Amino acid sequence: MARSPGRVASAAPTLADVADLAGVSRQTVSNAVNNPDLLRADTLLRVQEAITSLGYLPNRAARNLRTRASHLIGLRIMPVQEGNANATMDRFVHSLVDTSREAGYHVLLFAGDPDEPLTGYDDLLRSTAVDAFVVTDTYLGNPQATWLQSRRAPFVAFGRPWADPEATHPWVDVDGAAGCDLATSHLLDRGHERVAWIGWRKDSFIGEDRRSGWGRAMRARGLPTTGLASRVEDSVASGRGASAVLLDEARPTAFVCASDTLAMGVLHTLAERGLVAGRDIAVVGFDDSQVAQVVPAGLTSVRQPLEDVAIEIVTALEGLLGHPPTAHAGVLLEPTLTVRGSS
């Protein structure tokens, strides 16, 4: 790769690059980072100037591949959206904390800004000896994976690399298409033939994946899908509006929704029209949230095996943090269907 005058190549600078620029050994650079009191003042200054010039980031996570000194796993946590029934992340965090503790690790949570997907990662790599990261929100096409790989920081993703199918980092995900196929087949087995779909906008990788499961189940029974689908934002209001239009125009006898949030919107519409879920119109959600468990008669919902997700993620982390490290292939887990009164 060609170099611009006065600049290093776009690849992240390494300890060896610092050693070459400073005219010292790699061990000396390591001492400057970890044990600066072992060096003469002029040598330390020369190494520090080389580090600054190159923009070298001492990779604490990579060092801990050998020492596992911190036993900390970093996880960025996002604020819960208002008006949303999704508590998947809360359940996942608890599962990850429990599973990590059994493996000898602790989970270090740090705040996330929706507009700044890398917030916190750089600070932790520079100032905290985390061993690795668990990355979520991969469905947004966020740049965490590429950024962490460029800094050689170990991580495992909860979610497939939707925007980069050729990515080689370890990941664990739940098969949303299989879950919605399961939900739709459940309704078809109960005699419904006009099963409507309410999902997310077309730019949502997960939404389109879940929608494909609904379509697959309908086609397998030779049933039409034209006019029976709606793509909206993930909110109760959107679910309410979409279901009202579908009831008026397509007259479905059942709904499968991409989330419990959207399903709650459907339940609102049914209540407004004097209809009863499970008796007049069947409704199935996705995520088996606490709301699904407490609404009258209960909401049938696809349940993600988050406890198994946590186990697979910790297993992959242990492989990355082993000596020598071993990389695990992506793991896709099957969800289940929790049947309640709404269907």
Q: Which of 55-59, 132-136, 295-299 shows the lowest per-residue confidence on average (mean pLDDT)?
A: 55-59
Assign domain 1-56 one CATH number from 2.60.40.180, 1.10.260.40, 1.10.150.120, 2.40.70.10. 1.10.260.40
pLDDT at 321: 87
Tens digit of each residue's pLDDT (9 = 90 or more) over 56-78: 876 544 444 444 457 899 998 87
Q: How confident is the model at residue 218 (pLDDT cuts 50, 70, 90)?
A: very high
Give the span between the Cα atoms of 297 and 97, in whole angstroms. 32
Residue matched to tokens 């690849």: 11
Q: SS3 sequence, 250-275? A: CCCCEEEECCHHHHHHHHHHHHHCCC
Q: Are 140 and 154 in contact (CB under 8 A)?
A: no
pLDDT at 219: 97
Residue matched to tokens 């596992």: 68
| Structure tokens given for 278 | 């499970």
Spell 178-206 as b/e; 16+ CB within 10 A means b: bbbbbbbbbbbeeebebbbbbbbeeebbb
Do 64-173+306-332 and 176-303 show the same overall fold?
Answer: yes
Say yes or no to pLDDT of 10 above 50. no
Q: What is the mean pLDDT of residues 3-24?
A: 65
Spell 122-140 as b/e; 16+ CB within 10 A means b: eebbeeebbbbbbbbbbbb
Q: How confident is the model at residue 334 (pLDDT cuts 50, 70, 90)?
A: very high
Assign domain 176-303 one CATH number from 3.40.109.10, 1.10.357.10, 3.40.50.2300, 3.10.20.740. 3.40.50.2300
Q: Are 321 and 279 in contact (CB under 8 A)?
A: no
pLDDT at 12: 66
Q: Where are the domains of the chain?
A: 1-56, 64-173+306-332, 176-303
Residues in Cβ contact with 329 at an 8 Å cutoff, skipping those fewer than 6 apart: 170
- Amino acid found at 334: E
Q: Are 239 and 266 in contact (CB under 8 A)?
A: yes
Say yes or no to pLDDT of 314 above 60. yes
Say yes or no to pLDDT of 337 above 90. yes
